[in-house]
Structure 1
Amino acid sequence: MRMSDSPVTVEIDGSIATLMLNRPAAGNTVNQPLADALLDAAIRCDNDTAIRCVVLSGNGKLFCGGGDISAFDVAGDEVPAFLSRLAGTLHMAVSRLLRMDKPLLVAVNGPAAGAGLSLAISGDVVIAAQSAHFIAAYGSVGLTPDGGMSWLLPRHVGLRRAQEIILTNRKVSAQEAAAIGMVTRTVPDEELAVEVARTARALADGPTGAIAGARALLLKSASTPLEGQLERETRAITKAGGSAECREGVSAFLGRRKPDFSKGA
């Protein structure tokens, strides 16, 4: 099911949902309709229990060129109010995607700038085409980061590298992004679709309940003291141990067969 005229298309293939940023003529830049559509798509994926993996990518040559600067000019003196609504909507979408009970796979098909960089690094697994590159870009238009960049980037690459990337606006190649932890891995452009499909299938076939628990633990890990995190881990593994997924996993291990975690859905 797909709405090709939407700024974010949603395509469902079995248990895998693919969200496609769909403003290719504008570099998939974020305007209010795209932010609204991304939030709607994120809410749908969050609440649809049949979806076991979400893929986010961009249509065309760019993954996402950041905010739609032309819309700033239209807003005129109302830019602060415009940005408050735009960033607020985008942030609700990012929060849903980060907190949903299923993995997020990001396929970076081309350059990612500004909020596009934020979206690119939001995945649990991020696969980038070798021709992709990344740039914070905010400083070039006198703005500060949004889309979660100031939270996500230091967690992935460390504070010192994040400072340089954001403050100097230098371009980071896909190869360097993989080396420093911005993305999971890179593949030749022509292999991106196949690798993303293979990885999405593996994630969708995995124990999504356990994956959801691990995602929640990781989100809390940087802000929770050790003993608090240990308690969270105890409660999470106790809950997981009583699940149908765990029963199937143990049965498959002892039976020397591949587990079918869909039985735990």
Structure 2
Amino acid sequence: MEPLVRVEWDGPVAGLTLNRPARHNSLVPELLAELLDALADLRRRPDVRALVLQAEGRSFSTGGDVRRFYEQGDGVYEYASGLVGQLNRAVQALLDFPVPVVAAVHGIVTGGSLGFVLAADVVLVAPEASFTPWYNVVGFSPDGGWTALLPALIGPRRAAEVLLRNLTISAREAVEWGLASRVVPAEEVRAEAWRVAAEIARLQPGSVRRTRRLLRAAWGDVAARLETEHGEFCAQIVTDEAREGMRRFLGEG
């Protein structure tokens, strides 16, 4: 079995690759468990000086696997609580990671997977990359930092309109609004992420750590805001609206 999260190395730079391409790297407990384990292992390694986050396949990640949610039936609350709890821990682990995180983003990013992008320090996007919430279409409540982190980056009014109207943020808009660092040609985005990470890894590690810590201080109590998202997601997932929304989204019945 191929790992759902692949760990790679290039000198002092470690790479984590989401590796569920047949399902667009959608989030399931198994993938998030592997991601959390990999982050915990790398955190203990003093030789890691920078981290690259990337993905295989056509999409970076399409958020929670709606079919998995739908298949839970009466157990959907417990499943959702566990999954969003894992996602929150992964986002927090990236935010708290001791070295900078560089994300190479291509294709579609939807739902809670945006949290991985929000938690990165440098975000390089391919021209076709896009970011769409989908919550109000499927009947879910936002998770992964769409309300906890995104407004601080792009502004509360923009975040509100994107979420309430289910708008797509293009790669160009992501850079202009502050969600991403810059657009890189699709065939170069991963190599450029590794190059940037290697450049950071050559700098003075203590200075880099303190800089990152000072920049992160402005986020405030992210954990509490993510936990609020967690509670609202679980409350919404058990409604008839969510059940019907999932059924329509999947084309069931």
- Is the Cα contact below 8 Å between 1:15 and 1:51 reproduced in 2? yes
- Match in the other structure for 2:65: 68
- Is the Cα contact below 8 Å between 1:100 and 1:212 reproduced in 2? no
Q: TM-score w.r.t. structure 1 length?
A: 0.80
**Structure 1 residue 42 and structure 2 residue 62: aligned?**
no
Cα deviation digits, residues 145-173 of structure 1 (max 9, x gap): 22223222111111111111122111111
Amino acid at match of 2:101: L
Cα deviation digits, residues 128-157 of structure 1 (max 9, x gap): 000111101122211122222322211111
Indicate the larger mover: 83-92 or 189-198. 189-198
Distance in 2 of aligned mates of 1:196 and 1:44: 21
- More relative contact order, 1 or 2 (CA 8 Å, 6+ apart): 2
- Tell me by how many angstroms 1:126 deviates: 0.1
- Tell me by how many angstroms 1:53 deviates: 0.6
- Identity fraction in percent: 38
Map 1:47-196 onto structure 2 (within 5 A): 47-196=44-193
- Match in the other structure for 2:224: none
- Is the Cα contact below 8 Å between 1:103 and 1:208 reproduced in 2? no
Distance in 2 of aligned mates of 1:83 and 1:92: 14
Unaligned runs of 5+ in 1: 225-265
Amino acid at match of 1:17: A
Amino acid at match of 1:172: I
In the alignment of these two chains, the number of paired residues is 221
Q: Secondary structure of the residue that 1:79 maps to in structure 2? A: helix
CA RMSD of aligned residues (A): 1.5
- Tell me by how many angstroms 1:195 deviates: 1.5
Distance in 2 of aligned mates of 1:192 and 1:5: 24
Q: TM-score w.r.t. structure 2 length?
A: 0.83
- Structure number with greater Rg is 1
Unaligned runs of 5+ in 2: 222-253
Amino acid at match of 1:21: L
Amino acid at match of 1:188: P
After the TM superposition, list the runs of 4 or more consecutive aligned residues in structure 1 that deviate by more than 3 angstroms.
Answer: none
- Match in the other structure for 1:5: 2
Distance in 1 of aligned mates of 2:219 and 2:81: 27
Task: Go from structure 1 to structure 2 and tell me whether the alpha carbon gap of 1:207 and 1:140 turns closer, same or farther (over 3 Å shift).
Answer: farther
Distance in 2 of aligned mates of 1:47 and 1:137: 36
Counterpart pick for 1:204 among 193, 196, 201: 201
